[in-house]
Amino acid sequence: MSTKLSEEDKRVGAYNFNQAAADIAANNPDRRTFMKAVTAAGAVLPVSAAVYFGYDSWKGNKAVKAAIIGVGDEGGVLIGEHNPEYLQFVATCDLRPSNQKRILEGEPNGPRKGFNKIYGKDVAAKIKQFSDYKQLISEAKSLGIEAVVIATPLFTHKDIAVECMNAGLHVLCEKLMARDVKSCKEMIASAKKNGVLLSVGHQRHYSLLYAHALEVVNSGILGDIKHIRAQWPRNNSWPFVPTEAQLKTFATGKDIDGKEFDIPALIDGWCKPVPKEDAEPFLKDPDALLKKTGFKSITELVRWRLYDRTGGGLMAELGSHQLDATSIFLGKVHPLSVSGVGGKFFYGKGKNDRESNDGVFTTFEFPGPNHPKGKNKGTDESDVVVMTYTSFNTNEFEDYGECLMGSRGTMIVEKEANVYLYKEKEKGPAAKKDDKGGKDTLVKVTGEGSKKPAMEAASTWGGGGASIAKAAGGPAWDTEIRGYRTEMEHFAYCIRRWQDLKQPVSYEKNSDGTMKHKDILPRCHGEVAMADAILALTANMAMAKKQRIEFEHGWFDAESPDAPEPKYG
């Protein structure tokens, strides 16, 4: 991302990142517990995610019995990535027959493997399917269900999660946490009241790639970071031309709100045709949709991301991931302000019309380490990091990812799959004659003891450091790097650890505000996830109001009733 890198640029950048990660680990005794030296190769390689994230003692535990509510696109990804040794799914729930069918059969290519492939058809056939989540909750005890994974449309998250937690079930809810900040706080309160785990699916918290990228950032070798650029460009502007066979599977006639079912004009993952098998049950009994589910039409059910009431648009679906990554890199500090421009610039009448923005450009101000609100609690109010996030639906020439620009180097995280590191060229009388910078410069990291780590030009390729990024020729969808599986494994581990302690889950805090039991709580528990939701939701408000909004402390306090919505809509 950022600029289009050549294959040679990528090769150099990947080498530099891997070498830096290895050099930093070798010079830091505290990190050696997470890394192992391979003497013969003269390199340092990362250990498994289970060791890195502290749940390698799983052996001997029984898989946690679980149910999943919402088995559409994201639910299919989670099922496709879960480890049956940690989570055993015994029930599913979804309003749409087509989703219930796909969660069993999977898809030919991609991450949605389906239960038939993961468990085998005989075992998969025994998984109980529900269309009403309340009925699933009522039968959870008889089915032995201990935990629920929620991957439903955004505006349903709070109600389903709270009802599950009130029933004593642990919850892993997909991101964004909820449609408004008040609902996030209600979910946190419910987890505390019922003594259960609440985890939210910002999977970058469990990505080894991001974990090692954070180590490089924390080493200081990038220098003073003042700008982070993140983006997720997509192009859904091509005509949709269904086959005759496909046309026969699409709903025709009128939806329950009186509007005609339409066929999308463009190829668009958010604006899909309405399957006939999903429409027919609700056309026969419209009250089943309106009164029992909260959806106003079958089209809204299928295309919920297009509506402001049911979804959170680009900031919730895409931007939240990269806002989360930015806050991780900056030490999970809360931002100072946000402003931006967003709108429906491309889609419209007769062209996949929608309420949600199809283009956004936002600017966040975060406190730098020496700002009074930064991680060092300094006194320099001018120490500010500017982060920009952009997503448009008409051009994907550049890859999605994050680009961190420091005074001594640049780090690019590309497509959740690769990290590239480049050195800035040294200037001034103290600059070494052969210490170049740029995309073609190989580097090593020097500095030990009290000397601060720094990048220096390397004369040879050397050992190449830690093989952290996706292997050349490897699959585009890499489980170890993306963090979905790790997220669910750790969730199961935490459940078993609290059961071993024979006590309800505690969210008690130390005097410094950190979680007392952080080692057996999800890395993205409710309060962490709420901060990510606040960033995405407030950005939407700033664009709608066309004004700069300053973040308030009370919004991030789970015990405070303060929230941005009453003030900014």
| Structural domains of the chain ordered from first start | 7-47+207-235+312-480 (3.30.360.10), 64-203+485-524 (3.40.50.720), 244-306 (no CATH)
* Residues 260, 265, 266, 272, Cα dihedral to 10°: 20
- 372 vs 334, 503, 553, 560, CA distance in Å? 12, 39, 13, 22
Cβ 539 vs Cβ 341: under 8 Å: no
The answer to whether residue 182 scores a pLDDT higher than 60 is: yes
CA–CA separation, 230 and 5 (whole Å): 16
pLDDT tens sequence across 421-475? 999 998 887 777 677 888 989 998 887 555 678 898 876 555 455 455 554 445 5
Predicted local distance difference test score (pLDDT) of residue 470: 52
Which is more confident, 449 or 536? 536
Any idea which residue has 């599977």 for tokens?
249
Question: For residue 281, which phi and psi values (nearest 5 degrees)?
Answer: -60, -35
Q: Of 180, 176, 132, 170, which is closest to residue 154 (Cα–Cα)?
A: 176
Residue 231, strand partner residues: 390, 401
The answer to whether residue 38 scores a pLDDT higher than 50 is: no
Q: Of 540, 525, 88, 60, which is closest to residue 311 (Cα–Cα)?
A: 540
In terms of C-beta density within 10 A (0-12 exposed, 13-18 middle, 19 or more buried), how is residue 331 classed? Answer: middle
* Distance from the Cα of residue 546 to its chain's centroid: 27
Q: Are strands 549-550 and 337-343 parallel, antiparallel or unpaired?
A: antiparallel
Amino acid identity, position 143: L
Which is more confident, 541 or 569? 541
Dihedral sign computed on CA atoms, order 358, 398, 401, 493? positive
CA–CA separation, 398 and 522 (whole Å): 33
pLDDT tens sequence across 443-454? 988 875 556 788
pLDDT mean over 525-542? 98
- CA angle, corner 202, sides to 551 and 386, nearest 5? 40
Question: pLDDT-based confidence at 36, cuts 50/70/90?
Answer: very low
Cβ 516 vs Cβ 510: under 8 Å: yes
Cβ 322 vs Cβ 329: under 8 Å: no
Instruction: Pick the range with the lowest mean pLDDT from 192-196, 205-209, 505-509, 534-538.
Output: 205-209
The answer to whether residue 84 scores a pLDDT higher than 50 is: yes
Q: Of 9, 44, 89, which is closest to residue 410 (Cα–Cα)?
A: 9
Cβ 113 vs Cβ 124: under 8 Å: no
Tokens of 229: 């650029």
Q: Are strands 337-343 and 359-367 parallel, antiparallel or unpaired?
A: antiparallel
Helix axes 73-81, 484-501, angle to 10 degrees: 70
CA–CA separation, 336 and 543 (whole Å): 16
Predicted local distance difference test score (pLDDT) of residue 110: 80
CA–CA separation, 441 and 92 (whole Å): 52
Which is more confident, 264 or 470? 264
Cβ 216 vs Cβ 21: under 8 Å: yes
- 166 vs 69, 192, 332, CA distance in Å? 16, 10, 29
CA–CA separation, 514 and 511 (whole Å): 7
